[in-house]
Amino acid sequence: MNIPSNDPSLRSWIRTPKDSDFPIQNIPFGIASWNGEPPVPATRIGDTVIDLSILADVGLLDDLGLPREAFLAPQLNDLMVHGKQATRALRQRLSELFQEDNATVRDDNALREDALLPLDQVTLHLPVQVGDYTDFYSSREHATNVGSMFRDPANALLPNWLHLPVGYHGRASSLIPSGIPIHRPMGQTRPDTQAAPVFGPTKQLDLELEVGFFTFDGKPLGQRISTAETDDHIFGLVLFNDWSARDIQSWEYVPLGPFLAKNFASSMSAWVVTLDALEPFRIPGPVQDPEPLTYLRTAQPGAFDIHLEAALAPEGSAPSTICKSNFKYLYWSMAQQLAHHTVNGCNVRCGDLMASGTISGPTPDSYGSMLELTWRGTKPLTLSNGEERKFIADGDTVILRGHAEKDGVRIGFGILSTKVLPAIPFA
Ligand code: CA
């Protein structure tokens, strides 16, 4: 007993398919419902979803510093508000309950049938009620590609980029979980720079391959979180697709930045993979030159080796992989992002979301957006069914996946899948 939850030798009595993103070493958190019941907190091992409200109800999650009511809430915030030590203890308890030699749930037929459900019978919901959503711009390759395309390849990065994690405040109300389709947004564009703007469905709908993290409560307004303290304030990570309308964006963004080109929807994967579960995959990030200012320096490595990929499935066709990237390419780490975000005294709250910005790698097949993959539409992609794409078409489904793997343990996020429906016409 009390084997650490990340131990590679752990096995569960719940069957876990080979290459599953969800071995017993993962223990992610999500919000699930079934049979018309209200959504409740859940975890997942293999393709089995575990209802935490049932385990709490029979007292198996008592003594962790988490009230039973928190296990009946339709979002994880009620658990997260108790902080890292409590959620860490919960993950450890769940690990112990489902280890192969633990009979508590395994040999209790009634409890097992109540608490365990097959994934395909479950509806997954937005895991966290997000108060504030911030989007960074922390991939050097992405910022370089965009700067090269829209400004000057010789001076692709703006003067501030290597000195601070550039970001902006996004919109929380339009965050959606995997599986919820979006409609192509309409808006103003100016395709002819000598003519008046026009209105209509975006012609340049794009994905952005990102990873987001959720915060626990930060500090009171006016106090900052140092890079040494950030881990205590980070709950876990999700895959994140920050949908973008490039033609709307290029017309509207001056001088205050993205607005309607971004706020119509951003999609996230359903399972929050804890920072604790990803700890074995921590590695040094890119060398930072010039050395950041003191408040952005970190004592421990800040990157995580997480393979990321994007695929595009036209209506009725199989998915084609269009991008393979890695979270490790991110120039500015989560610790630096959070330290920078709060250095002026800005407070973060339980359930805030910080997204990485598009994560592009060094090679053209590792770019995390269609904008870069097709170089602004000049190099269309050919999909496996023979169709070409410059941007995302109606009927396309965009699928993001991500996983880390080491010592025979694979920790992943599952799938983030979003279908694009046609624009809604004016009545
Ligand atoms: Ca973004």
H helix intervals, 181-329 = 246-252, 275-278
DSSP characters over 347-409: ---TT-EEE------SSGGG-SSHHHHTTTTTSPEEPTTS-EESSPPTT-EEEEEEEEEETTE
Rounded to an integer, the average pLDDT of 15-25 is: 96
CA–CA separation, 13 vs 142, rounded Å? 43
Structure tokens at 8: 């590679």
The reported pLDDT for the residue numbered 381 is 98
Q: What are the backbone dihedrals phi and psi of residue 302, each rounded to the nearest 5 degrees, phi first?
A: -115, -5
Q: Which amino acid is at 348?
A: V
Fold adopted by 133-421 = Fumarylacetoacetate hydrolase; domain 2 (3.90.850)
Asked if 125 is an active-site residue, the reply is: no
C-alpha 204 to ligand 1 mean position (Å): 15
Q: What would the mean pLDDT of 260-284 be, rounded to a whole number?
A: 98
Q: Where in the chain is the domain with CATH 3.90.850.10?
A: 133-421
Which percentage of the chain shows pLDDT scores above 70? 100
Residue 387 binned pLDDT confidence (cut-offs 50, 70, 90): very high
Partners of 268 in the β-ladder: 177, 240
Q: E strands along 178-317, which residues?
A: 182-183, 186-189, 198-201, 205-206, 209-215, 234-241, 244-245, 266-268, 273-274, 282-283, 303-304, 307-313
Residue in 125, 142, 340, 403 annotated catalytic = 142
Q: Which two tokens stand for residue 414?
A: 């599952």
Separation of CA 10 from chain center: 26
Residue 291 CA, ligand 1 centroid: distance in Å: 25
Residue 123 confidence class, pLDDT cut points 50, 70, 90: very high
What is the reported pLDDT for 427? 81
Neighbours of ion ligand 1 (CB under 5 A): 135, 208, 242
CA 357 to ligand 1 centroid distance, Å: 4
Give the model confidence (pLDDT) of 214-267 as tens digits: 999 999 999 999 999 999 999 999 999 999 999 999 999 999 999 999 999 999
Distance 376 CA to ligand 1 centre (A): 16
In whole angstroms, how far apart are CA 227 and each of 39, 190, 232, 268, 294?
Answer: 35, 42, 10, 26, 10
Q: Cβ-count burial of 80 within 10 angstroms (0-12 exposed, 13-18 middle, 19+ buried)?
A: buried
The ranges of the chain annotated as CATH 2.30.30.230 are 30-125
Residue 304 is encoded by which pair of tokens? 């995580």
Task: Please give the distance, rounded to the nearest whole angstrom, from the Cα atom of residue 327 to the centre of ligand 1.
Answer: 14
Least confident of 255-259, 277-281, 346-350: 255-259
Q: What is the distance between the alpha carbons of residues 353 and 91, in angstroms, rounded to a whole number?
A: 21
Express each pLDDT in 357-372 by its tens digit.
999 999 999 999 999 9
pLDDT of 262: 98
Domain 30-125 coded CATH 3.40.50.150: no
Residue 409 CA, ligand 1 centroid: distance in Å: 30
CB 338 within 8 A of CB 296: no
Q: From CA 380, how far away is CA 19, in angstroms rounded?
A: 32
And the tokens for 99?
Answer: 């280890």
- Model confidence at 1: pLDDT above 80: no
d(CA 392, CA 186): 14
Asked if 229 and 222 touch (Cβ cutoff 8 Å), the reply is: no
Query: How many residues does this entry show for the chain?
Result: 427
| CA gap 105, 75 in Å, rounded | 24
